[in-house]
Structure 1
Amino acid sequence: MSTASSRLQKISQTLQPSTTSSTMSTPAKTKQWILTNKPTDLPQLSGPSATFTLENNDLPPLKDGQVLVKIRYISNDPAQRGWITKGIDPARLYVPPVSQGGVMRARAIAEVLESKAEKYKKGDRVLGSTGWAEYAVLDAQGLQAIQQIEGVSETHFLGAFGITGITAYYGIKIIARAGPGDTIVVSGAAGATGSMVVQIAKKMLGCKRVVGIAGTDKKCKWVEILGADVCLNYKKDSFKKDLIEATDGFVEVYFDNVGGEILDLMLTRMKKHGRVAACGAITDYNNNKPRGLTNWFEVVTNRIEIKGFIVLDFVDQGKAPEAIGEMVKALKEGKIVVGDENETVVDTKFEDVPKTWMMLFEGGNTGKLVTKLV
C-alpha cells in the first residue's frame, strides 16, 4: 500500500459500510489503462504518442487481508495531470508520480466481489485507490467504507464529502483564515473544490462577500445560487473590468484554483496583508511554457501572504473526520446544498475513461466530475 493510500484511509473514521447484492462471477482478468507516454502539454488520446494504452491483464490471487472489487465510479481530479508530467522531479511532488508502464492512478468507489478481510464482506461499497481499472485486488486496510446519508448519492464521497470537500473546508478556513469580516474571491468557482469553497465561506463561515469566477454565464448563475454575491465569467471581454468593479475596495482573501493570468490579476486586487490560498493551477497543467507573473511586486509592496497547501497535510493530522462531520451537519441544517447539481456524473464505457477525464481541461463539468462505468 502506498504512503498516499495509507494517509487517505484515515478518513474512514467517520464512515460506515453500505452494502448491495452482487451475482457477478469472479473475474480472472481486468482491463486497465496504462500510462505509456508522459505528456509535456495536453495529453494525447490517440496516435503514436498516445498518453495511455488499454490493456487486459491478469488479476493477482486474493490473499488474506485483501478484497477483490469491481470499480463502479471513478474520481476525476486535476491533480492527476501533475502525477504524469514528463520530467517532473519526484522529490517535488507530494505523492510519487505515476510510473511509465503503470496503471493510471485514481480513487474510486467499488463493490466488493470477494473478501479475505474481516472488515468487509461481499456486496460492501468501499472507497480507495483503484486506478483506471475494471477490477482490482486491494489491501483492505487501505480502503474506506461508504457512509449512507439519506437523499445523498454515494458519489458525493468522491467530491463534497471526500477529498474535494476536505480541501475546500481546510483551505478556506485554516489556510486562508476567512471569517465574517472578509470579502473573498474564488476562481474555478463552478468546479468541485470551488463550489464547496463558495458555500463554506458564505454559509458556514459567514464571510461578508463572496465573488466567484467561472467559465460560462450558466455556471455563474449556479455559483450565485450556491451563495456567491456575484460570479464573473472570465471568458467575457469585459472580465478584467468586471473583476475590478466587483473587488472595489480590494479583498482580504483569494482562493486560487487556476493560477495563470487570473492569479496575476488578483494580486492587484488584494488588500494589504491579504491572504491567498494556493490550491491549484489548472491553467498551466497542460502548458509546458507557462507565462510568469508580472504583478509579483504586489506581494512585496502589499505584504500579501501566499500559502500553498495539500489536503493530505490535514489527513496526516487526523483532521479529515472533523471536516466531513461539519459539512454533513451543515447539510442536515440546510446551510449547504449537496445534490445532483454539485456533480457531473458521466456514463462511460471503460474504453472511454480517458475521454471523460479530459473533460476536466475543457470546462465540461459543473461541480465534481465522476466517471460511472457502464
Structure 2
Amino acid sequence: MVKARQWILAKKATDLPTFEGSDPNFKLVEKDLPEPKEDELLVKPIYLSNDPAQRGWISTEADPLRLYLPPVKEGTPMHARGLCEIVESKSSKHSKGDIVFANCGWSEYAVVPASQCQPAPDLGNGMSRTLYLSAFGTTAMTAYFGLTEVAQITKDDIVVISGAAGATGSMCVQLAKKLVGCKKVIGIAGTDDKCKWVEKLGADICLNYKSSSFAEDFRKETPGPEGFANVYFDNVGGEILDLVMTRMARYGRIAACGAIANYNSTSDKATGIKNWFEVIQMRLQIKGFIVMDYLKDAPKATEILKNMHKEGKLEIEGGEHVVETKFEDIPKTWLLLFNGSNQGKLITQLK
C-alpha cells in the first residue's frame, strides 16, 4: 500500500479558484492507493502540464453532457497530464524507471492503466523531455491542426493570433510564418516584452492588448480591404474576439480554440459578442475544435515539428516556463495561467 498526498477538488469554482482559506476549491489530503493490478502502473509525476482547459473541468456551470472530457468530481484529485517515472509496472510493455506521459492528476503517486500511457524516451541532442509537453506536445498539436485543418491557412493569408506568447499561440506564430509562409502574421500578447519575443518567433508585428491604443493600433495593422485578416486563431474570446471580428476579410475563417478571457467568470458576468452581424455581412466561418479530434494524425504532425526544429525553423528557447514547485504549491503554480505571467508553456517541475 502506497500513501500519496493529493490535491482534491473540494468544491467547484465560480470565479478564480482558491486553495487557501476556510472554504477553498482545492484541498490537500493524504490517501492510500490500491496496489497496481495487471496491465497497470504505479507512477510518480515529475512534470505536470498546466492548461487553461482544466478550468472548465471544475466549473459550477460545466454540463457533463456538453464537455469533451468528464468534469472533475468533488472529492477526487484534480485532473492533469504529466511526465511520470514508473515506480512499479504490471505491464509487459513498460519497465520500472521508464518515463511515460500519463493522466496522473495532482497526486504524489498514481495508479494508471498502462494502455493510456505513452512512452517519453530521451529526445537526444541535449533536448529536455519537457518538450513532450510543449513544442512536441498537445499544445503544439493544437496549433498545427487548428491552423492547417480547421483554418486551412495558405501563404496568401493575413493571420491574427491571440494569446500569441502562450503555449499554443507561440507555436501558431512559428507554424504560420515558418512552415506555411503566410503573407502577414499579427500576434496579440499582454506585455511589451512578450510582444518582442513573439516578433522574434516570426510575427510581423505583435500588439499589446493592455495598451491604451490597442484597438486603434489593431485597426491600423488591418486597414482593409486588402489588409483585413483572413484567419483568426482565437485563444481568448471576449472583447478581443469582438474587435477582431470587425477586421476580418470577407469569407474569413476563425479557429475557436480557447476563451480564457471568461474562464473565471460565470455566464452572467462573461464578456459577450456585440459584433455578431459581422459574421453575416462578411460571411465568416467560425469553427470550434478540440485537438483530440485530430490525434490520429499526431505522429505525422510530430515529424513535421521535429524536422522544423532540425532545420532551425522552430524556436524552442523561451517557449517553456518551467516552475520548480513543492507538492503543496501545485495549485499556486497552476494559477499563474490566469494572471498572464507565463511565457510559452507553463510546466510544473515537482521537487
TM-fit CA distance, 1:148: 2.7
> Which one of the candidate residues 106, 123, 127 is aligned to 2:80?
106
One-letter amino acid of the counterpart of residue 300, structure 1: I
Is 2:311 aligned against 1:333?
A: yes
Q: Is residue 2:156 matched to residue 1:181?
A: yes
Describe the SS at the equivalent of 1:95: coil
- Structure 1 spans left out of the alignment, 5+ residues: 1-26
Residue of structure 1 equivalent to 2:39: 65
- 1:249-288 aligned at under 5 Å gives the runs 249=224, 250-288=228-266
TM-score (norm 1): 0.91
Q: Match of 1:84, SS?
A: coil
Measured after TM superposition, the shift of residue 147 of structure 1 is 3.6
**Residue 126 (structure 1) aligns with:** 100
Q: CA deviation at 1:89?
A: 1.1
Deviation at 1:188, TM superposition (A): 0.1
Question: 1:346–1:371: 8 Å Cα contact kept in structure 2?
Answer: yes
Match of residue 166, structure 2, among 178, 191, 204: 191
Distance in 2 between residues matched to 1:148 and 1:271, nearest whole Å: 45
Match of 1:219 among 194, 201, 206: 194
- Give the distance between the partners of 2:18 and 2:43, measured in 1 at CA: 29
Q: Distance in 2 between matches of 1:55 and 1:240?
A: 47
Q: CA deviation at 1:202?
A: 0.4
State the 1:338 CA deviation: 1.7
CA–CA distance in 1 between the matches of 2:178 and 2:149? 16
CA-to-partner distance for each residue in 1:299-351, whole Å, 9 max, x for gaps? Answer: 00110110000001012xx1111111111111111111123x10000000000
SS of the residue aligned with 1:264?
helix
Which residue number corresponds to residue 91 of structure 1? 65
Name the structure, 1 or 2, with higher relative contact order (CA <8 Å, separation 6+): 1
Tell me if structure 1 keeps the 8 A contact 2:86–2:95.
yes
- Choose which of 344, 347, 352 in structure 1 pairs with 2:321: 344
Instruction: Report what 1:40 is aligned to.
Output: 14
Structure 2 counterpart SS, 1:235: coil
CA distance, structure 2, for counterparts of residue 302 and residue 328 of structure 1: 37
Q: Secondary structure at the match of 2:65?
A: helix
Match of 2:339 in 1: 362
Give distance in 1, aligned partners of 2:39 and 2:2: 19
Q: Which residue of 1 aligns with 2:281?
A: 301
Report the Cα distance in structure 1 between the residues aligned to 2:121 and 2:154, rounded to whole angstroms.
30
Partner of residue 118 from structure 2, selected from 104, 126, 144: 144
Task: State the distance in 1 between where 2:27 and 2:121 align.
Answer: 34
- Contact in 1 for aligned 2:201/2:315 (Cα 8 Å): yes
Mapped contact 1:152–1:338 kept (Cα < 8 A) = no
* 8 Å CA contact 2:161, 2:169 repeated in 1: yes
- TM-score, normalised relative to structure 2: 0.97
Output the CA distance in 2 between the equivalents of 1:346 and 1:215. 20
Distance 1:217 1:66 in 2: 47
**Structural RMSD (CA):** 0.9
Distance in 1 of aligned mates of 2:62 and 2:253: 28
Encode CA deviations 1:253-309: one digit per residue, 9 max, x unaligned. Answer: 000000000000000000000000000000000011212211010000110110000
The CA distance in 2 between the partners of 1:152 and 1:242, in whole Å, is: 38
The answer to whether the aligner puts 1:244 opposite 2:224 as a matched pair is no
Q: Which amino acid aligns with 1:195?
A: S
**Contact 1:251-1:271 at 8 Å conserved across structures:** yes
Aligned pairs, number? 345
Instruction: Measure, in 1, the Cα distance between the counterparts of 2:173 and 2:95.
Output: 38
What is the CA–CA distance in structure 2 between the aligned matches of 1:148 and 1:230, rounded to whole Å?
36
Quote the residue 1:21 is aligned against: none
CA distance in 2, matches of 1:162, 1:93: 22
Corresponding position of 1:292: 272
Structure 2 residue identity aligned to 1:335: K
1:23 matched residue in structure 2 = none
Corresponding residue of 2:143: 168
Q: 1-side partners of 2:135 and 2:25: how far apart?
A: 29
Following TM superposition, by how much is the alpha carbon of 1:151 offset from its aligned partner in structure 2, in angstroms? Answer: 3.0
| One-letter amino acid matched to 1:103 | P
The answer to whether the 8 A contact 2:99-2:121 is kept is no
Give % identity. 55
